[in-house]
Amino acid sequence: MSGTEISSEGLDLRRRKLKFRLWHRGIREMDLVMGGFADAELMNLSDAELSEVETWLDIPDQQMFAWVNGSETPPTGLDTPLFRKLRTFHGTRP
């Protein structure tokens, strides 16, 4: 898989920008994890959940990847239902 196969057509501007940023994180592993999650879930996220996802973009790739794949425990503030959904999507049990 080289990237998204889901069109951004029909997404509002905020979701289109967020989808692009999630598919272009920096390291390829995070592009696939976050971009795939965006393709599957972005349309269904509330404004509050979109804001939460936007905060994930400020976390360095290696740190976020360690939290998502379960090799490190995420901080309490990050361990939200949406983050657990991301981990489940990635195939990591919370």
> Are residues 40 and 89 in contact, defined by beta-carbon separation less than 8 angstroms?
yes
Contacts 24+ apart (CB under 8 A), 86-91: 86/33, 86/34, 86/37, 89/36, 89/37, 89/40, 89/41, 90/33, 90/37
> Are residues 38 and 23 in contact, defined by beta-carbon separation less than 8 angstroms?
yes
User: Average pLDDT over the chain, rounded to whole?
Assistant: 88
Q: What is the pLDDT at residue 91?
A: 86
- The domain ranges of the chain are 13-90
Q: What is the pTM of this model?
A: 0.84
Q: What is the pLDDT at residue 1?
A: 43
Greater confidence (68 vs 91) lies with 68
Q: What is the pLDDT at residue 26?
A: 87
Percent of the chain scoring above 90 in pLDDT: 78
CATH number for the region 13-90 comes to: 1.10.150.250
**Is the per-residue pLDDT at 57 higher than 90?**
yes
**Is the per-residue pLDDT at 3 higher than 60?**
no
